[in-house]
Amino acid sequence: MLSIASQCKLLDLERSTFYYEPAQESAFNLQAMAAIDRIYTERPYYGKRRMSIKLREEGLDVGRELARHLMLKMGLEACYPKPKLSIPNHEHKIYPYLLRGVDIIRCNQVWSTDITYIPMRNGFFYLTAVVDWFSRYILSWRLSNSLDGLFCREALLEALERFGIPEIFNTDQGSQFTATEFVEILLKRNIKVSMDGRGRALDNVWIERIWRTVKYEDIYPRDYEDGVRLYEGLTDYFSFYNEERLHSSLKYSSPGKIYRGRGCSNSGVSGTPSPAPLGQVLRQP
C-alpha cells in the first residue's frame, strides 16, 4: 500500500492539506444554501427578503439576515438596479462594458468568465469557466473551495495557452476579475477588457445560461457527495457539453464542432479542456 506521502505526491497534494479538516457549515445551512442556489438560478433578481420568504414557503426557517449571510458566502447578489451599491476597491480599476450593440460573429472575438456556487451533499465548491461567446465552447474550468482569485487566473491562463488570444475578454465586477493580477494577464496580451455594469444580469447572459444548463443537467440530478466525485462528474459533463450536446442556438450543432469548424482552435487541440490536477482542486485556502 502506498504511503500517505506517496499518495499526496501522485495527487499533487500538499501533505498538510491531507490532514487539514476544514470548518464545516451546519447541515441546516448547507440545505438552505442548496435551496438558495436552486431558487437564485431560476430567479436571480431575488434579494434577501424574497429569498427568505421563498425558503419559508419551502419549509426552511430562514430569516432575512441569515439569507443575506448565506447569499454573501455564496457570492450571490440580486440582479436589479439599486442605489448605493457596494463601494469598489479604489485599487481596482473598473473597465467599461464594450459589448453593447456589438454583433458576435466569429470565434475568439469575445471570451467571458464567471463564478458560480456548486452545492454538494456534504459541502460546496465554486466553479469558474472561460467560454467563447460565439460557439459557447468551454475553453477551461476550475473548482475551488474558496473565492480567492487564484483559480480564476489558472483557468484564464490555461485558456490563453491552449486556444490563443481573444479580441475582448468580458467579466463582471467581482474582485477576482478586477484584481490587478487578473487584469494584467489580459493587458499584457493587448486584449480589450470589458466589464458588466453593476446589477446588469444580461451583460454576461451567455455564461449565466451555461451555469443554468450545467446545474439542471448535471449538478442537481447527480447530487454529488464530495469534491472528488464532483471533479470526475464535471470532467465527463464538460466533455459531453463541448462535443455532443446539441444547442438550438447553434442550429443543433455542438460547441466543439462550431469552434473547430470555424478554424478557431490551435492545431492539435481537441476534446474537452483539462481541469487542474485533483490535488490542486482540493487544495484548501
Average pLDDT of 67-88? Answer: 63
Distance, CA of 283 to CA of 285 (rounded, Å): 7
DSSP 8-state assignment for residue 144? E
Confirm whether pTM is higher than 0.95: no
> Phi/psi of residue 125, each to 5°?
-135, 170
Domain 110-281 classified CATH 3.40.930.10?
no
φ, ψ of residue 14 to 5 degrees: the values are -65, 140
Q: In sequence order, which residues have a C-beta less than 8 Å from that of residue 13 and are 6 or more positions away?
A: 7, 278, 279, 282, 283
Separation of alpha carbons 50 and 67, rounded Å: 9
Alpha helices in 168-283 (DSSP H): 175-178, 180-187, 205-214, 220-222, 227-243, 255-261, 278-281
Model confidence at 270, pLDDT cuts 50, 70, 90, reads very low
**How far is residue 168's CA from residue 62's CA, in Å, rounded to a whole number?**
41
What's the angle, vertex CA 64, arms to CA 62 and CA 66, rounded to 5?
60
pLDDT (tens digit, 9 = 90+) per residue, 124-159?
A: 899 999 999 999 999 999 999 888 899 999 999 999
**Can you tell me the distance from the alpha carbon of 212 to that of 42, in angstroms, rounded to the nearest whole number?**
8
In the chain, domain spans: 4-74, 110-281
Taking only the tens place, the pLDDT of each residue in 177-205 is: 999 999 999 999 999 999 986 544 555 67
